[in-house]
Amino acid sequence: MAKEKETVPGSFITLTVGLAVAGISLWYGQNNGLLPTQVSEQAPLVDNLFTIMVTIGTGLFLLVEGAILFAVIKFRQRPGDETDAPFVEGNLPLEIFWTAIPAFIVMALGIYSVQVYNEMGGFDSVGQVAHHHHNNTMEVADMPLGRMNSLLAVDADGNAQYGIGATPIEGLEPPDLTVDIMGLQYAWIFTYPNMGIVSGELHVPIGTDVQLNITAQDVIHAFWLPEFRLKQDAIPGQKAQLRFTATQTGTYSVVCAELCGAYHGSMRTSVIVHDAEGFADWVKENQIAQNPDLEETVAVDSRELSDREFLAPYAEDLGIDTSSLMAIETNG
């Protein structure tokens, strides 16, 4: 009797393949390098979700492509074999299994993404309502929590806002810095209402709670801060908001992420994150440049000067000494 050929048990092969796929997926999920630097407190929330999605996607890719490659090699047509392939009936339990697993993954990621959005202030606008409750007939303190969470954020004029604002806890305090942003073809205009500054770049201090009030003048734009993991549509006639805290100094990108016209690709600028001293210097310089002291900049009327006083600034260049200037004034 011929001795049967020994083979590796299928369960052991399946376990080994599963561990290899899991290990590769976890490693790549943590080390994919697909995202730019994190520079805001909100960025890790988005990156954690992205890491999970990349990990799961990598595992599915390896399993599906590995199964295809295995089938191509294992069940290829041998030379000289002209027979039909064996008939295989469907496997209902297997079909239910491979349909249920992706469905569960999609639902789990959806729930997690909603949680992340809520942690970033996407749903809870309690704080924004609390800031301006004096403009409303109902006191926020008297509202049930469920009612507060269903309210839209409102600005100082009582107009509804949308966007990623303060969470209920953060919203109990006003932002440290407010910047109004206007999008127009093809530029971003940043106005600091409490400082009297208008700029073509966004300047913020590190570690400061910043609120951006965003709108558009002409068409729909999208205000995108890739390194901050924040993006918000700018819609004409509507007010939106973003609220964030920068965690790293440097110069980063501001991009319009909504096709807004022929020169959409050039609608870019920068957000500069300063340390506290650097931001104070920037504010001082721009306040002086945009709001000069008129008493110090009024031009001198030359008709009120004597010849000597008028010529004094040019004396050195003309080679005229003081005595010559005095003689000119005396003869005059």
Residue 56 forms part of a structural domain: yes
Q: If pLDDT is split at 50, 70 and 90, which confidence band does 157 have?
A: low
The pTM of the whole model exceeds 0.75 = no
Distance of alpha carbon 301 from alpha carbon 80, whole angstroms: 107
Place of tokens 């073809």: 185
SS3 category, 251? strand
184-242 per-position pLDDT tens digit: 998 999 999 988 889 999 999 999 999 999 999 999 999 999 999 999 999 998 888 88
Task: Look at phi and psi of residue 207 and say left if phi exceeds 0, alpha if psi is from -120 to 50, else beta.
Answer: left
Distance of alpha carbon 253 from alpha carbon 45, whole angstroms: 20
Contact 28, 92 (CB under 8 A): no
The domain of 22 spans: 17-70+97-119
For residues 36-48, b (16+ Cβ closer than 10 Å) or e, as one string?
eebbbebbebbee
Residue 205 forms part of a structural domain: no
Contact 181, 213 (CB under 8 A): yes
41-100 per-position pLDDT tens digit: 889 999 999 999 999 999 999 999 999 999 899 888 888 888 887 788 888 888 998 899
SS3 category, 105? helix
Residue 25 forms part of a structural domain: yes
Contact 241, 164 (CB under 8 A): yes
Question: What is the pLDDT at residue 236?
Answer: 93
Q: If pLDDT is split at 50, 70 and 90, which confidence band does 264 have?
A: very high
Residue 104 forms part of a structural domain: yes
The backbone torsions φ and ψ at residue 77, rounded to the nearest 5 degrees and listed phi first, read: -75, 125
Q: How many domains does the chain divide into?
A: 1
Question: What is the pLDDT at residue 17?
Answer: 87
The backbone torsions φ and ψ at residue 299, rounded to the nearest 5 degrees and listed phi first, read: -65, 145
| Torsion sign over Cα 139, 143, 145, 149 | negative
DSSP 8-class letter at 151: S
CB atoms within 10 A of CB 215: 19
Question: What is the pLDDT at residue 144?
Answer: 39
Query: CA dist 255 to 183, 223, 308, Å?
Result: 11, 6, 58
Distance of alpha carbon 207 from alpha carbon 204, whole angstroms: 9
- Average pLDDT, integer, range 294-321: 56
Residue 48 forms part of a structural domain: yes
* DSSP secondary structure letters along 179-212: EEEEEETTEEEEEETTTTEEESSEEEETT-EEEE
Question: What is the pLDDT at residue 326?
Answer: 61
For residue 28, pLDDT beyond 90: yes
Contact 129, 153 (CB under 8 A): yes
Residue 151 forms part of a structural domain: no
Residue 45 forms part of a structural domain: yes
Return the biggest CA–CA distance within the chain: 139
Lowest mean pLDDT among 119-123, 299-303, 307-311: 299-303
Residue 27 forms part of a structural domain: yes
